[in-house]
Amino acid sequence: MNSTKNKLILYSLILGFLGFIVATYLTILHYKNIVPPCSVIANCEKVLTSQYATIGPISVALLGSVFYLLVMVICTLLLTNYKKIYLNAFYLLSITGFMVSVALIVIQAFILHAFCQYCLTSEAISTGILILAYLNFRKEKQVR
């Protein structure tokens, strides 16, 4: 793997780490039953206490933590023990993460009419990961 691609994977790893911090913070808040204060400027609590914040007993934030953890594991595997299968898994993960993010933004904008700053940060991070994955894919194609 050349250095540019290495860098792209490294940046994805860093983004995955940041996403993990945000998602895990929300997961802890959820399972400790702590609701963020209702702020004059943001409406996070409406999003975090809505029916869309959980899928059955599982918090969406926990799924986010697992997603970012997987991104970190795959990126580390690519950096330490590059295999094509890991790269494909990375592409698949980044597309899945982005699609879920789009769905969550649609729910916030059109159903809840409220946005949560933590959720938006996570959604921006997963979009960043998809962009990096796409750039990596393009580089791969050029090499072939």
Site for another protein, rule CB under 8 A: 17, 20-21, 24-25, 28-29, 32-41, 43, 45-46, 49, 69, 72, 76, 79-81, 114
Is the CB of 21 or the CB of 131 nearer to another protein? 21
54 sits in which H/E element = strand 54-55
CB of 4 to another protein, least distance (A): 20
Is the CB of 4 or the CB of 82 nearer to another protein? 82
Strand 58-59, strand 54-55: pairing: antiparallel
Query: How far, in Å, CA of 114 to CA of 25, rounded?
Result: 20
Is the CB of 8 or the CB of 72 nearer to another protein? 72
Query: How far, in Å, CA of 125 to CA of 91, rounded?
Result: 15
Is the CB of 79 or the CB of 105 nearer to another protein? 79
Is the CB of 65 or the CB of 101 nearer to another protein? 65
CB of 70 to another protein, least distance (A): 12
User: Which 8-state DSSP code applies to residue 41?
Assistant: S
User: Which residues lie closer than 8 Å to 46 by C-beta, 6 or more apart?
Assistant: 112, 114, 116
CB of 144 to another protein, least distance (A): 27
Query: How far, in Å, CA of 139 to CA of 78, rounded?
Result: 15
CB of 58 to another protein, least distance (A): 18
CB of 63 to another protein, least distance (A): 16
Query: How far, in Å, CA of 20 to CA of 54, rounded?
Result: 18
